[in-house]
A and B are shown apart, each in its own frame.
Chain A
Amino acid sequence: MLWTGESGRWLLQGLLTTLELSALAWLLAVALGIVAGALRTVRFAPLRWAATSYVEFFRNVPLLVWMFFWYFGVPPLLPRAVQDWLFNHGAEFWAGMLALGVYHGARISEVIRSGIQSIPRTQFEASVAMGLTTFQAYRLIILPVALRLIVPPATNESLNLLKNSSVALTISVAELTFQTRQIETYTAKAIEALTAGTVIYLVLCLSIATIMARVERRYAIPGLIARVGPAA
């Protein structure tokens, strides 16, 4: 009965907001993760330090604090007119997206770093010996291999990101959990609303996990992480 009428509309709106928020934050997180993860393995020390400070700073502070930081902390630094424009155009959504993306970027970069470091150093040396620059070696050889190796832990991080998007309700982003709470207060049907929310998250996460399992099988590098035998 929650799927019909106003409650159903709220759930759908919440679902769309959650997907939009998570998808944008995921893109940001992956981009930041790849850059920071790669930089943490280069020879040039200042770049390594910069990447390390980013990762340690952002992953060691709770996500909730980052939500408040981007929503309450950053806007006052901007000119008043810009602030007003932002607040009228969904500032809370963008603050939530940044908080989620930057936080998970730091966590994904660790996954990527571990992928890069699992590749024998000789591969990098061989590519440089073939005449590639460091940047080319990373872009053409190291990262493509590393990204395939890390599909399982990266899936894990992505699912976490999706579920963590619910923290954005603290800065008034009307995502899925926000809407289930709203239904709860309006209709006093707490159990039904929570069940609906849980089922939606579960279905979302299971679909992502299934898709990623396919990706993993498709792009597996034989001899590195190819699944063997019945485990597939």
Chain B
Amino acid sequence: MKKTVAVVLVLAAGLALAGPVVAQQDTLEKIKSSGVLTIGTRTGSPPFAYINKNNEWVGFTIDLVEMLVKPSVEKAVGKSIKVEKKESTPPTRIPLLTSNSVDLIAGTMTDTPQRRESVDFSLTFFYTGAQFLVKKGSPIKSINDIGGKRIAAQQGATNAKIIREKYPQAQLREFPDQPAAFQALLQGQVDAYTNDGIQLYGLKAKAPNPNDWDVVGDFYSEEPYGMAMRKGDTKFKAAVDAGLKNGFESGKYFEIYDKWFGPKGELPYPMTPPVKAYLLKQIGK
């Protein structure tokens, strides 16, 4: 009995020591030997990455990987490769990356200073920010009009924090999830619902009568989406960034954007001039 306990203890100690020492691998070497670029992406975030009606795993971010990142990585490893997709969610995506299960997170991940402490981000490939969803004709036109109004937000969201700290005149109501907050807006419990603009456009499109609703206001928070990589892998990051940069320069990126967010796209979300300027500024234009 004592022996068994000792063996278990030794094993446990061994595991505990071995755990963190997963070798820091050079991602490009790994892709070169396996011929596969594994990405972690979403299955239910249209139009970024989702399973469509024909049961295909598609989306804006997936197109960016296939059409811009893949050719650039192929050039760097000197051979043609395959892109493999794995499901990743907000709680699992960083562990998937650090455990080498995936090489690149390409979904809807916001690039934040806190996250930069554990992963590296590519160039920003999508830019959104907090706005308001209101009933058509509402007196709320921007964040300056929310004093005394009832504003719904999602619990724990960055925009709830901003409103609480900078606009205490507003009556903030926090709901655990988007459906509850939207229901409150539909019924008039609140005057506006605030979240990332792109999410609000998605909600509006799905609402029973999309034309009854308006997304208003300038972005009062910044939500730049980036692709995430293991920290410190500079060669791989350079290859990913080169692919995106090339897309911005050649205009290919804007074609892909138009395919998903243009007037005839999956979710019309016109790119405003400040956003375009922000994206191009990254490549020095």
Most chain A CB within a 10 A radius of its CB, from B150, B152, B189: B189
A184 to B150, CA, bound (A): 24
B183 contacts across to A, CB distance below 8 A: 72
A172 to B175, CA, bound (A): 5
Question: B171: CB under 8 A from chain A?
Answer: yes
Contact bitstring A67-102, B, C-beta under 8 A = 1, else 0: 000011001100010011001100110000000000
A91 contacts across to B, CB distance below 8 A: 189
Q: A172 to B174, Cβ gap below 8 A?
A: yes
Question: A53: CB under 8 A from chain B?
Answer: no
Question: B184: CB under 8 A from chain A?
Answer: yes
Query: Distance (Å) between the CB of B272 and the closest chain A CB?
Result: 29
User: Which residue of A87, A170, A171 is within 8 Å of B150 (Cβ)?
Assistant: A87
Nearest residue (CB) in A for B150 is A87
Contact A178/B187 with A172-B173, A186-B161 known, Cβ cut-off 8 Å: no
Question: A182: CB under 8 A from chain B?
Answer: yes
User: Which residue of A75, A84, A178 is within 8 Å of B155 (Cβ)?
Assistant: A178
Query: Distance (Å) between the CB of B66 and the closest chain A CB?
Result: 35
B95 contacts across to A, CB distance below 8 A: none
A171 contacts across to B, CB distance below 8 A: 175, 180
A171 to B173, CA, bound (A): 9
Question: B90: CB under 8 A from chain A?
Answer: no
Q: A71 to B189, Cβ gap below 8 A?
A: yes
Question: A48: CB under 8 A from chain B?
Answer: no
User: Which residue of B175, B180, B188 is within 8 Å of A83 (Cβ)?
Assistant: B188
User: Which residue of A75, A182, A185 is within 8 Å of B187 (Cβ)?
Assistant: A75
Question: B190: CB under 8 A from chain A?
Answer: yes
A185 contacts across to B, CB distance below 8 A: 155-156
A84 contacts across to B, CB distance below 8 A: 188
Contact A92/B171 with A75-B189, A181-B156, A182-B155 known, Cβ cut-off 8 Å: no
Q: B184 to A72, Cβ gap below 8 A?
A: yes
Q: B155 to A181, Cβ gap below 8 A?
A: yes
Question: A132: CB under 8 A from chain B?
Answer: no
A169 contacts across to B, CB distance below 8 A: 155, 176
Chain B: number of interface residues, binned into ranges? 10 to 19
Q: B171 to A88, Cβ gap below 8 A?
A: yes
Contact A87/B180 with A172-B173, A172-B174, A186-B161 known, Cβ cut-off 8 Å: no
Contact A170/B180 with A88-B150, A185-B156 known, Cβ cut-off 8 Å: yes
Nearest residue (CB) in A for B191 is A87
B184 contacts across to A, CB distance below 8 A: 72, 172
Contact bitstring B166-178, A, C-beta under 8 A = 1, else 0: 0000010111100
Contact bitstring B237-257, A, C-beta under 8 A = 1, else 0: 000000000000000000000
A87 contacts across to B, CB distance below 8 A: 150, 188-190
A92 to B184, CA, bound (A): 11
Q: A170 to B156, Cβ gap below 8 A?
A: no
Contact bitstring A25-49, B, C-beta under 8 A = 1, else 0: 0000000000000000000000000
Query: Distance (Å) between the CB of A193 and the closest chain B CB?
Result: 12
Query: Distance (Å) between the CB of A64 and the closest chain B CB?
Result: 11
A110 to B190, CA, bound (A): 38
B190 contacts across to A, CB distance below 8 A: 87
Contact bitstring A44-69, B, C-beta under 8 A = 1, else 0: 00000000000000000000000000
B161 contacts across to A, CB distance below 8 A: 186
**In the complex, chain B residues 134-166 whose Cβ is within 8 Å of any chain A Cβ:** 150, 152, 155-156, 161
B174 contacts across to A, CB distance below 8 A: 172, 174, 178, 182
B188 contacts across to A, CB distance below 8 A: 80, 83-84, 87
Nearest residue (CB) in B for A80 is B188
Contact A72/B171 with A87-B150, A178-B155 known, Cβ cut-off 8 Å: no
Contact bitstring A114-154, B, C-beta under 8 A = 1, else 0: 00000000000000000000000000000000000000000
Residues of A that sit less than 8 Å from B by CB: 71-72, 75-76, 80, 83-84, 87-88, 91-92, 169-172, 174, 178, 181-182, 184-186
Q: A91-B189, A181-B155 are in contact. List 9 more A-B contacts (CB 8 A).
A: A71-B189, A72-B183, A72-B189, A87-B150, A87-B190, A169-B155, A170-B180, A171-B175, A182-B155
Q: Can you identify 7 A-B contacts, CB atoms within 8 angstroms?
A: A75-B187, A88-B171, A91-B189, A169-B176, A171-B175, A181-B156, A186-B161
The 6 closest A-B pairs by CB, nearest first: A185-B156, A172-B173, A172-B174, A87-B189, A172-B175, A170-B176
